[in-house]
Amino acid sequence: GAGVSQSPSNKVTEKGKDVELRCDPISGHTALYWYRQSLGQGLEFLIYFQGNSAPDKSGLPSDRFSAERTGGSVSTLTIQRTQQEDSAVYLCASSPAGRTEAFFGQGTRLTVV
């Protein structure tokens, strides 16, 4: 596709269950970001991948959160033992190397009940 694709668009899960959120970046983009946006809040940085470098995990809120990026392309954000405070929109963005803007997907709305 032409843009960043995220799936699912909506996810409702029970407290304590694990969830996986997927991001397909724009082909050829070397940088990939995950952000979290809670209702009415700004963007909270979670994790950043750049090429083959070690990811910047400094924004992950707890060890229940993890992410991987396979083959420098698709990324999966995993949340284990979900809690109600994990409910938010999870946004993925990708960017080509250099000084250009990042392109965002439409997000995955996660609701933990």
Partner 1 sequence: AQSVAQPEDQVNVAEGNPLTVKCTYSVSGNPYLFWYVQYPNRGLQFLLKYITGDNLVKGSYGFEAEFNKSQTSFHLKKPSALVSDSALYFCAVRDLTGGGNKLTFGTGTQLKVEL
Residues contributing to the site for partner 1 (CB under 8 A): 31, 33, 35, 41-43, 45, 48, 50, 56, 91, 93, 95, 97-107
Contact 97, 30 (CB under 8 A): yes
Rounded to the nearest whole angstrom, what is the least distance from the CB of residue 6 to partner 1 in the complex?
A: 9
CB of 85 or CB of 101, closer to partner 1: 101
Rounded to the nearest whole angstrom, what is the least distance from the CB of residue 81 to partner 1 in the complex?
A: 28
Rounded to the nearest whole angstrom, what is the least distance from the CB of residue 72 to partner 1 in the complex?
A: 14
The 3-class secondary structure across 52-105, one letter per residue, is CCCCECCCCCCCCEEEEEHHHCCEEEEECCCCHHHCEEEEEEEECCCCCCCEEC
Rounded to the nearest whole angstrom, what is the least distance from the CB of residue 40 to partner 1 in the complex?
A: 9
CB of 92 or CB of 112, closer to partner 1: 92
Those residues with Cβ within 8 angstroms of residue 4's Cβ, 6 or more apart along the chain or in another chain: 23, 24, 25, 26, 92, 93, 94, 103, 104, 105
CB of 35 or CB of 65, closer to partner 1: 35
